[in-house]
Chain A
Amino acid sequence: MLPRANEPIRGSIFRVATRRNIAPDVRGADHPLQVGDRAPTLDRLVSTDLDEERGQEQRADAPTVVALFGGDDAPTSEGEREAIRADLRALGAVLIAVSPRWLWVFRPEEERQFLESPSPALREGLPRLFARFGVPLDERRAGLGGLFVVDGDDFVRFAHRVGPGERITLGTAVQAASRAMLLPPDCRTGASRREFLLFSLLTGFAVAVADGCAPAPPLRDAGSIPRAAVDLTLEINGQRRALRVEPRVSLLDALREQLALTGTKKGCDHGQCGACTVLIDGRRVLSCLTLAVTAADAKVTTIEGLGSPEALHPMQAAFVAEDALQCGYCTPGQIMSAVGMVSEGHAKDDGDIRELMSGNICRCGAYPNIVTAIRRAQKEMNGLALPSKGPA
């Protein structure tokens, strides 16, 4: 059973590289290539006819997708080739797929492809090529043996060797590679073209190696640390929102600075005050200590999603009615925390409310009215949740 195109491959890890772990290949040519290693140029490994195909006007910054097939089955169906073409076109890469029986080269700029028998010189070089990439050259094992992305500077940026029990079609693998290499849309030209996003096939999140659109320092400069950006989708207040953030960006900063949801407040930024409380998948958490990237695909509820000025959430209405604030800075966090607390269902009396709201500090000291407001809203919320009880 072949994995479908969008099906994650369980139990595998696709390693992704940032400039940080790119290092000169000091292990020598005997070591199978890994992400971050510098690959020998393909022409040195195989034969010059590959370079002819790779392009007489070969772009130095064009990545190459290298697919190695041990067996001799045809690379793809016609339909899958169309999908592969689309993926390659999107990322501006050259595909070189080789098996002992055929060679398939695709150069998107020229809308043409070759599927032909390899030259005698290429066939002679194949054992070395496969050995260098750590893929067994076994004609009895049909199908894709490994897929690699080599960037324009010859660094391996993506590597997947197909395990013994695993079967992946070329289309699936190229789709993974294309996700791994999506160019930032505003960076399609200029010096940063070689910068591309690396995408995990498994989880659908991206790790970028992009320095925005600024001229990129040399890839091997160990002192340069990338501002790696990640593409992710959050469901915020019922709306799916796409954003691109560095992995170090907190959910709080992503909400406030990128999505303009400034209702969530930054107090201490160290998990000590509760002002940044939001609900993730219905549970109250601190958005300052949550990395936005870890919330990918989660449902986030902020104060903006709780109610509207015309139709306040019962907790919001109760805070207004009971005058449960003075300066108001901690209030969104208090309300989100209180909503989470009520749904947890452990607060039986005012003492419980005080204890279970202790993660939200109010410097104005509005605590007595906060407790009163929560008690009031709790009755209404539980009434709403359990309509069979009848009106309170």
Chain B
Amino acid sequence: MTAPFEYVRVTGEADAALDTATPGTQLLAGGTTLVDLMRLGVMSPARLLDINRLPLARIEETTQGLSIGALVRNSDLAYHPAVQARFPVLSQALLAGASPQLRNMATTGGNLMQRTRCAYFRDVGVPACNKRDPGSGCAAWDGFARQHAILGGGPDCIAVHPSDMCVAMVALDAVVHVRGHYGADAAVTEREIPIGDFHLLPGATPARETAIGPGELITRVTLPATPFAARSAYVKARDRASYAFALASAAVALHLEGGKIRAARVALGGVATKPWRSREAEVALEGQAPSEAVFERAAAAALSSAQPRPDNRFKVPLAKATIVRALTRAREAV
């Protein structure tokens, strides 16, 4: 049962959302995570600030790349011609996520702020969850951890970051643009956060999930034009053919030149506590011919530091196979 809250809708310019930021306030966009978690009792904000009518739903194509407003719906982004042509991995990742109805609701900014599907986090009957209740422990570490992370976690938290979109954005060197009151005079300014720095590893503070704080607003995400973005692919392995969260996924991008891999991006989903960029895999690819043997070496490098729990050892070979398949698709693409 959803606890009562105060509802305020903001209109006008985007900065209107900053003026009313107070402790206990959550921003409401598509609501697909927030309303669900409020109904479960996992989140109970005192106040919802409905930002859906702010003018942040534009996709703009520039010579430098693409600018995606924070309120662009996942479906609109996935089917945008520029995304499909220039950043196919992003379109594929979005269409691999959730369902068409949810994609019509969910926003770019909301997807960045998406919270884990860890069953222990979602069940308020479980007392131990460091994300819900810092210091209470982690029920998943010694619990049933089939869905959980094999990279980036530890005894304090092994909750998987569930997003597909963010994994593709990691492979595309995305930049998150955030507005807030900064500095001594508290004037509203914008700051840019590389996607790799946006999500935080749980460490000893699993409740802190992103680099932004209360009173800040994601306004847009920019994708730079890169030589590898067009040759990119997303592969997702899950328990059913569609409409399920990833057990393992890979977003890859390749810049091929003269029969060699000049530059590569490898990012993993479903296996890590944040959208996971594997520089080890990228190093293993760069300068090499795009052969299956090279892809397998890269996949092995990506999982070399994996620390599975007894229930999710299968994710190590699954993630490797996913990477190899994604690299193969990227090689064949265009």
**Residue ranges of A at the interface with B (Cβ–Cβ < 8 Å):** 8, 10-13, 15-16, 18, 20-21, 200, 202-203, 205, 207, 225-228, 230, 246-248, 250, 269-271, 274, 277, 283-286, 289-291, 293-294, 337, 340-341, 344, 346, 354-360
Minimum C-beta distance from B164 to chain A (A): 14
B7 at interface by CB-CB < 8 Å: yes
CB <8 Å contact, A202 and B11:
yes
Minimum C-beta distance from A207 to chain B (A): 6
CB <8 Å contact, B3 and A289:
no
CB <8 Å contact, B104 and A283:
yes
B60 at interface by CB-CB < 8 Å: no
Minimum C-beta distance from A135 to chain B (A): 19
Give the complex CA separation of A205 and B9 in angstroms.
9
Could you list 23 examples of A-B contacts with CB < 8 Å? A13-B10, A13-B19, A18-B6, A21-B46, A21-B47, A228-B7, A247-B48, A248-B38, A274-B99, A289-B102, A290-B31, A290-B105, A291-B28, A291-B31, A294-B9, A294-B28, A294-B31, A294-B52, A346-B79, A355-B241, A357-B100, A359-B98, A359-B99
Give the complex CA separation of A205 and B241 in angstroms.
42
Give the complex CA separation of A269 and B1 in angstroms.
11
Minimum C-beta distance from B203 to chain A (A): 30
Give the complex CA separation of A112 and B11 in angstroms.
38
B311 at interface by CB-CB < 8 Å: no
Chain A residues positioned under 8 Å from B304 (CB to CB): none
Given the known A-B contacts A8-B11, A12-B12, are A20 and B101 also in contact in the complex, defined by CB atoms under 8 Å?
A: no
CB <8 Å contact, B7 and A293:
yes
Chain B residues positioned under 8 Å from A203 (CB to CB): 9, 11, 53
B136 at interface by CB-CB < 8 Å: no
Question: Which of B12, B16, B28, B242 touches A355 (beta carbons < 8 Å)?
Answer: B242
Interface pairs A-B: 6 shortest CB-CB: A359-B99, A247-B7, A358-B242, A11-B12, A358-B243, A248-B2
CB <8 Å contact, B6 and A20:
yes
Q: Mark B3-39, 1 if CB is under 8 A from A, else 0.
A: 1111111111100100110000000100110011011
CB <8 Å contact, A286 and B7:
no
Chain A residues positioned under 8 Å from B12 (CB to CB): 10-13, 202
Chain A residues positioned under 8 Å from B99 (CB to CB): 274, 358-360
Nearest-neighbor residue (CB-CB) of A17 within chain B: B6
Number of A-B contacts (CB under 8 A): 127
Question: Which of B8, B9, B75, B102 touches A286 (beta carbons < 8 Å)?
Answer: B102
Chain A contact residues, majority secondary structure: loop
CB <8 Å contact, A228 and B242:
no
B280 at interface by CB-CB < 8 Å: no
CB <8 Å contact, B48 and A284:
no
Chain A residues positioned under 8 Å from B46 (CB to CB): 20-21
Chain A residues positioned under 8 Å from B52 (CB to CB): 294
Minimum C-beta distance from A251 to chain B (A): 10
Give the complex CA separation of A8 and B53 in angstroms.
14
B50 at interface by CB-CB < 8 Å: yes
Chain A residues positioned under 8 Å from B100 (CB to CB): 284, 337, 340-341, 344, 356-359
Chain B residues positioned under 8 Å from A21 (CB to CB): 6, 46-47
18 new A-B contacts, CB < 8 A, other than A290-B105, A291-B7, are A12-B12, A13-B20, A200-B9, A203-B9, A205-B9, A207-B6, A207-B8, A225-B3, A247-B4, A248-B38, A270-B36, A270-B39, A274-B99, A285-B104, A291-B48, A294-B28, A294-B52, A337-B101
CB <8 Å contact, B32 and A289:
yes
Chain A residues positioned under 8 Å from B50 (CB to CB): 293-294
Which has the most chain B C-beta neighbours within 10 Å: A10, A200, A285, A355? A285
**Residue ranges of B at the interface with A (Cβ–Cβ < 8 Å):** 2-13, 16, 19-20, 28, 31-32, 35-36, 38-40, 46-48, 50, 52-53, 75, 79, 98-102, 104-105, 241-243
Chain B residues positioned under 8 Å from A230 (CB to CB): 7
Given the known A-B contacts A13-B19, A203-B11, A289-B36, are A359 and B102 also in contact in the complex, defined by CB atoms under 8 Å?
A: yes
CB <8 Å contact, B32 and A247:
no
Chain B residues positioned under 8 Å from A294 (CB to CB): 9, 28, 31, 50, 52
CB <8 Å contact, B79 and A289:
no
Chain A residues positioned under 8 Å from B13 (CB to CB): 11
Minimum C-beta distance from B20 to chain A (A): 6
CB <8 Å contact, B11 and A228:
no
Give the complex CA separation of A283 and B7 in angstroms.
24
Give the complex CA separation of A246 and B48 in angstroms.
13
Give the complex CA separation of A1 and B302 in angstroms.
63
Nearest-neighbor residue (CB-CB) of B243 within chain A: A358
CB <8 Å contact, A226 and B36:
no
CB <8 Å contact, A284 and B4:
no
Which has the most chain B C-beta neighbours within 10 Å: A8, A18, A269? A18
Given the known A-B contacts A247-B48, A341-B100, are A225 and B4 also in contact in the complex, defined by CB atoms under 8 Å?
A: yes
Given the known A-B contacts A13-B16, A228-B4, are A271 and B36 also in contact in the complex, defined by CB atoms under 8 Å?
A: yes
Chain A residues positioned under 8 Å from B32 (CB to CB): 271, 286, 289
Chain A residues positioned under 8 Å from B105 (CB to CB): 285-286, 289-290
Nearest-neighbor residue (CB-CB) of A270 within chain B: B36
Nearest-neighbor residue (CB-CB) of B53 within chain A: A203
Give the complex CA separation of A331 and B212 in angstroms.
42
Give the complex CA separation of A346 and B16 in angstroms.
36
Give the complex CA separation of A165 and B332 in angstroms.
60
CB <8 Å contact, A274 and B101:
yes
Give the complex CA separation of A156 and B8 in angstroms.
17
CB <8 Å contact, B20 and A15:
yes
CB <8 Å contact, B6 and A359:
no
CB <8 Å contact, A289 and B7:
no
Minimum C-beta distance from B128 to chain A (A): 22
Chain A residues positioned under 8 Å from B47 (CB to CB): 21
Chain B residues positioned under 8 Å from A290 (CB to CB): 31, 35, 105
Give the complex CA separation of A132 and B4 in angstroms.
32
Give the complex CA separation of A40 and B28 in angstroms.
35
Chain A residues positioned under 8 Å from B48 (CB to CB): 247, 291
CB <8 Å contact, A11 and B16:
yes
Minimum C-beta distance from B16 to chain A (A): 6
Minimum C-beta distance from B50 to chain A (A): 6
Minimum C-beta distance from A295 to chain B (A): 10
Give the complex CA separation of A10 and B15 in angstroms.
12
Nearest-neighbor residue (CB-CB) of B29 within chain A: A294
Which has the most chain B C-beta neighbours within 10 Å: A200, A225, A271, A274? A271
Which has the most chain B C-beta neighbours within 10 Å: A15, A247, A284, A290? A247
CB <8 Å contact, A248 and B3:
yes
CB <8 Å contact, A285 and B11:
no
CB <8 Å contact, A359 and B243:
yes
